[in-house]
Chains A and B, each alone.
Chain A
């Protein structure tokens, strides 16, 4: 068993076509036109930068309110966590769990999981390689679901303003939260999971 890289081949990341490395590296795929790389360029540096930025923005995203509701003269501010608490208090356990997973657990798993993967490549850890790869595919798949809160805010703001029953203002935390989601999605895409397997191949 051998990787494409060890066999002197490069697989196009866009369309999957396999090319001989000596002719293809640094060129574009003759079938789909995508740039061909043995591994995603500057994968570790890019992923680290995006992850650090996302982790920093996690603070304003969670501390600042994402919604400010004014109803009959009373102002109520909601952060991501207080919104979740509110659903629990109302007995809406299913919705509370849904938002908790989408807005809190998923961004956390992305940042912790990708950090683990970065460290494992940097320090050549071989441990739980298959599980780590499965975790990468999971992170790739669930990343978008964190946008639930952003869409909720957008729908509430539009509908409530039109009905004039109250005013809902988008809180200052909302853009930061959206930025965290986008940055972690970009970080996931810039990380190359094949680097983790290169560590094992280099050892054997």
Chain B
């Protein structure tokens, strides 16, 4: 097939499937509708009302919850009258102390640094879009937001904490601290923010801002 001659206006209306490359023309969808690839079934785009407002609200909530998780006690153990408590940073510090620096950095990055950086940058982008202001570094910020998404793993950490809790339960009395509740809520806020935000919508909005 010969290359099609298209204007830049028409290019803007085209969507290529990310998993099979089939080309589709963007059509208006009803509220809550999802467009799927005609060939492989992958989700292409959808119509979300107020996505910017929802994403902004949940991102803000997630940022506050992450700060709370970092500030308070995650878990406490008590055995024979002796008690101790740990926070998000305790595990990585101990891994580092035992000579496992790469492992320590991986855990610290996946639980604290990547989610924190991503939420900060996302807030910057969303607030700028909401106010319709073109600010420096927006393009780079949005790309980092996309890139960091895979490497922040709060929801996996919650499962790891549950497994650790059950493993310790037969040798000590374990209680969950306020940071654990905040972290659990963070997971919910993050998944709500991710559900509201299609990065491609953010890119379209950023392009219109220019």
Contacts and interface: CB of A to CB of B under 8 A. Distances in A.
Interface of A: 1-9, 11, 13-22, 31-34, 71, 87, 90, 92, 95, 98-99, 102, 129-130, 133-134, 136-137, 143-145, 147-152, 154-166, 169-170, 174-175, 178, 182, 185, 189, 193-194, 196-198
5 contacts: A13-B18, A130-B39, A130-B41, A151-B110, A174-B100
B200 A16 contact: yes
B21 A3 contact: yes
Contacts of B107: 150-151, 154
A158 B94 contact: yes
Contact of B91 (A2, A148, A158): A158
A164 B82 CA distance: 8
Given A16-B16, A196-B20, 8 more contacts: A7-B3, A32-B142, A33-B143, A92-B166, A133-B20, A144-B156, A151-B156, A174-B100
B21 A5 contact: yes
Interface in B140-155: 140, 142-143, 146, 150, 153
B171 A165 contact: yes
Interface string B6-23: 100001101110111111
Nearest to A71: B171
A132 B94 CA distance: 42
Which one of B21, B90, B102 has the highest number of Cβ atoms from chain A below 10 Å of its Cβ? B21
Nearest to B85: A162
A151 B146 contact: no
Nearest to A188: B150
